[in-house]
Amino acid sequence: QTTLTSNTKDPYPDWKPGEPVPYAALCTTFSKIEMTRARLEISAHCSLFLRQVLRLSPNDLLPTILLMINKLAADYSGIELGIGESLIMKAISESTGRTLSHIKDDQKHIGDLGLVAAKSRSRQPTMFKPKALTVPGVHKSLMAIATTTEGQGAQGRKVDGIKKLLSAADAHSAGKSVDIEKDKGGPSEAKFIVRTLEGKLRLGLAEKTVVVALAHAMITHEVSQKGNKTPSTADLAKAESTLKSVYSELPSYEVIIPAMLEHGIFNLKDNCRLQPGVPLKPMLAKPTKSITEVLDRFEEKEFTCEYKYDGERAQIHFVAHGADVELATAAPTAGKSEKGVSNIFSRNSEDLSKKYPDILAKLATWVQDGTTSFVLDCETVAWDMEEKKVLPFQQLMTRKRKDVKVEDVKVKVCVFAFDMLYLNGEALVNKTFRERRELLHKAFVPIEGEFAFAKFKDTNELDEIQVLLEDSVKASCEGLMVKMLDGPESSYEPSKRSQNWLKVKKDYLSGVGDSLDLVVLGAYHGRGKRTNWYGAFLLACYNPNTQNYETVCNIGTGFSEAILDTLHTELSKITIDRPKPFYTHSSGNKDQPDVWFEPKYVWEVKTADLTLSPRYKAAADEVGSGGKGVSLRFPRFIKERDDKKPDQASTSRMIADMYRNQESVGKTKGPSVDDDF
């Protein structure tokens, strides 16, 4: 890696110090990345480009990074791209003077709207040379497009915004022909603008790679400023681990990048710690197949078994007025009460404050005197006020998601707290779980039906665990979460699927394994009783390395008529004429669904077992032979996962592991792995 990153040749020579980063420079780097699949090369291109940004236009580092990871702002801001094909086609047509039917024909033929835009733009003779696009300018325009959501004519204004960008794209090269066969359209700005708008750059450039490249670029820049040529391997590794760990505690480039530029990368940890207002990526658990497997994994270590509540994960942040802590006022709907400022975030770091105003209203009454700021990790669960017990997950799903008014709330929720990550100005993530739990119990007062601590028992007796598991299921829980109590292993590992947290779900015990979260890509028209709806659906997992969706099964079981009806209405709105270029599916005629969809919905699905099939492509690179992928046998729909985005679906690697392990589940241990990040 060192030799690659120490290459000092600037990737984009036509850019003067102090100028905003030319968008063409970013697109040149994107194009180089697009032409390779070698991880090291991708990382080197990123890092070289970022070094040039650091040297010439450091003030633009933030928008540059955001455009590289195809985001406009941190997840909690709720600002998202992912504009539908029809709007983009309209804008391409209007900005290039080609008819919509030409654009649609091209799209049918080429299958990649980015390339359609590149081709359309290249055919267009330009009389006036438009002003060249810059990275901060493009970011600003995209932001305006993404945030134009309300009021009359919002769609029209979005199209206008896209048109403006496309008209300014390729200022230097518009009119020159674009060869989409030879170099995938090359560094065409129109191509990358459209892909960015679609929410998919399709470069195989994972966020993790960008973070590593940024760390390498920064440390290389710092040592070169001190007159040294290249950083040592140890410095590169230290920079990388520092940035990764800071990002997992404080996933906000908006905060990290200015601090890094001001203080240097090695001083980041002192200047960027967990901050109320910025949600951490939650720690996740590994599945296990039996209680004996739990005992095997934890060996002699002490652990605790908690009820696994079946609701919605919630990270609750609170800062009392007057508390002496830095509060990032990041999330737009922070709840202000006379006691303080609070936020609730989902598993996905989305802002749930508008969904749970009832929780925000009561929050301050659950704390002991002296608790002035905290970040809690909890599960919100539907609660039966009369019977005083937990209700099934389906009840919670009936709550409105937005603009809920406290007085209208019908489904009451109880908050079950299971971890505390921050208390009174201090981050607790590096403390042991035993310490964090003690602090949690001291800082709060349970109130029946409103706030409770997750029920637990510290035991390593097989019989006792079995009883607890049965009790948890009787209490409408999904099973148990088993957690390491002591030592550095028991620290809170943001964004990691950790083997120090194990989930034992009641269903695993009957041998079906963990459920999967899959993306709906297509559907088949129903017959007989299902004539008016879709009768079956094509589902896929996600491969973060290639950024493709790989098909894994057809599903037609587990749907009530009411659900089929809703699905038909919702999915009909997002049909597309042909599969996206990032869908990987068998090309056989009989394997094609009747309709294709934009990637939007994630469903939880259970399966009897996994098998290999030529019809599907999941994990085909890893375990398949002769082009066969892994597929699910007898899949069954469980529920929609609206807390997951399509690229947070189960990964191809997870499916490959499940396939390999189905005969021997429980024998693999494996280290904690990055999950979402």
Rounded Cα–Cα distance for residues 646 and 660 (Å): 24
Distance in Å, CB of 316 to ligand ATP, minimum: 13
DSSP alpha helix (H) spans, 573-677: 652-661
Q: Which is nearer to ligand ATP, 272 or 481 (CB)?
A: 481
| Pair 460, 303: CB distance under 8 Å | yes
Q: Looking at the DSSP assignment, which residues form a beta bridge with residue 317?
A: 343, 375
Instruction: Find the part of the chain contacting ligand ATP (CB under 6 A) among 40-48, 115-123, 305-313, 572-580.
Output: 305-313
Distance in Å, CB of 641 to ligand ATP, minimum: 7
Distance in Å, CB of 675 to ligand ATP, minimum: 7
Under DSSP, the state recorded for 5 is H
DSSP calls for 306-372:
EEE--SEEEEEEEEETT-SS-----STT-EE-SSEEEEEE-TTS-B-TTT-HHHHHHGGGGBPTT--
Triad 215, 220, 223: Cα angle to 5°: 125
Residue 676 sits in the site that holds ligand ATP (CB under 6 A): no
Q: Which is nearer to ligand ATP, 418 or 603 (CB)?
A: 418
Residue 550 sits in the site that holds ligand ATP (CB under 6 A): no
Q: Which two tokens stand for residue 421?
A: 């990550």
Q: Which is nearer to ligand ATP, 235 or 640 (CB)?
A: 640
Distance in Å, CB of 287 to ligand ATP, minimum: 7
Distance in Å, CB of 230 to ligand ATP, minimum: 40
Distance in Å, CB of 417 to ligand ATP, minimum: 9
Q: Which is nearer to ligand ATP, 76 or 508 (CB)?
A: 508
Question: Is 169 strand, coil or helix?
Answer: coil
Neighbours of 558 (CB within 10 A): 15
Residue 391 sits in the site that holds ligand ATP (CB under 6 A): no
Q: Which is nearer to ligand ATP, 43 or 476 (CB)?
A: 476
Distance in Å, CB of 473 to ligand ATP, minimum: 13
Among 12, 309, 366, 422, binds ligand ATP (CB under 6 A): 309
Residue 289 sits in the site that holds ligand ATP (CB under 6 A): no
Instruction: Find the part of the chain contacting ligand ATP (CB under 6 A) among 75-83, 172-180, 303-311, 605-613.
Output: 303-311
Measured in Å, how far apart are the chain's first and last C-alpha atoms?
21
Residue 518 sits in the site that holds ligand ATP (CB under 6 A): no
For residues 366-385, which are near ligand ATP according to CB under 6 A?
A: 379
Among 503, 585, 617, 628, binds ligand ATP (CB under 6 A): 503
Residue 496 sits in the site that holds ligand ATP (CB under 6 A): no
Residue 421 sits in the site that holds ligand ATP (CB under 6 A): no
| Pair 640, 467: CB distance under 8 Å | no
Q: Which two tokens stand for residue 96?
A: 């290039």
Site for ligand ATP (CB under 6 A): how many residues? 12
Rounded Cα–Cα distance for residues 634 and 180 (Å): 41
Residue 481 sits in the site that holds ligand ATP (CB under 6 A): yes
Q: Which is nearer to ligand ATP, 51 or 286 (CB)?
A: 286
In the block, residue with structure tokens 């504009």 = 83
Instruction: Find the part of the chain contacting ligand ATP (CB under 6 A) among 19-27, 301-309, 328-336, 394-402.
Output: 301-309
Q: Looking at the DSSP assignment, which residues form a beta bridge with residue 318?
A: 342, 374
Beta strand pairing call for 389-390 and 479-484: unpaired
Triad 172, 177, 179: Cα angle to 5°: 115
| Pair 631, 604: CB distance under 8 Å | no
Q: Which is nearer to ligand ATP, 285 or 658 (CB)?
A: 285
Q: Which is nearer to ligand ATP, 418 or 549 (CB)?
A: 418
Among 32, 45, 51, 347, binds ligand ATP (CB under 6 A): 347
| Pair 599, 549: CB distance under 8 Å | yes
Triad 407, 403, 604: Cα angle to 5°: 110
Among 306, 351, 550, 640, binds ligand ATP (CB under 6 A): 306
| Pair 210, 155: CB distance under 8 Å | no
Q: Reply yes or no on whether 286 is catalytic.
A: no
Among 91, 284, 330, 344, binds ligand ATP (CB under 6 A): 284
| Pair 657, 669: CB distance under 8 Å | no
Distance in Å, CB of 313 to ligand ATP, minimum: 3
Instruction: Find the part of the chain contacting ligand ATP (CB under 6 A) among 40-48, 162-170, 307-315, 549-557.
Output: 307-315
Residue 469 sits in the site that holds ligand ATP (CB under 6 A): no
Catalytic residue among 71, 184, 286, 308: 308
Residue 106 sits in the site that holds ligand ATP (CB under 6 A): no
Q: Which is nearer to ligand ATP, 136 or 282 (CB)?
A: 282
Residue 628 sits in the site that holds ligand ATP (CB under 6 A): no
| Pair 613, 631: CB distance under 8 Å | yes
Among 118, 255, 454, 632, binds ligand ATP (CB under 6 A): 454
Among 216, 308, 496, 580, binds ligand ATP (CB under 6 A): 308
Rounded Cα–Cα distance for residues 650 and 483 (Å): 23
Distances (CA, A) of 562 to 251, 567, 643: 39, 9, 21
Distance in Å, CB of 440 to ligand ATP, minimum: 12
Rounded Cα–Cα distance for residues 411 and 417 (Å): 19
Distance in Å, CB of 667 to ligand ATP, minimum: 20
Among 165, 190, 285, 305, binds ligand ATP (CB under 6 A): 285
Rounded Cα–Cα distance for residues 54 and 50 (Å): 6
Q: Which is nearer to ligand ATP, 135 or 284 (CB)?
A: 284
| Pair 491, 429: CB distance under 8 Å | yes
Q: Which is nearer to ligand ATP, 396 or 520 (CB)?
A: 396
Largest separation between any pair of C-alpha atoms in the chain:
81
Rounded Cα–Cα distance for residues 349 and 279 (Å): 6
Rounded Cα–Cα distance for residues 286 and 499 (Å): 6
Rounded Cα–Cα distance for residues 505 and 482 (Å): 11
Q: Directed axis angle between helix 85-96 and helix 100-110, to 10°?
A: 120
Residue 484 sits in the site that holds ligand ATP (CB under 6 A): no
Which residue number places its CB atom closest to ligand ATP? 313
Distance in Å, CB of 312 to ligand ATP, minimum: 7
Q: Which two tokens stand for residue 291?
A: 């209680």
**Which residue ranges make up the site for ligand ATP (CB under 6 A)?**
284-285, 306, 308-309, 313, 347, 379, 418, 454, 481, 503
Catalytic residue IDs: 308
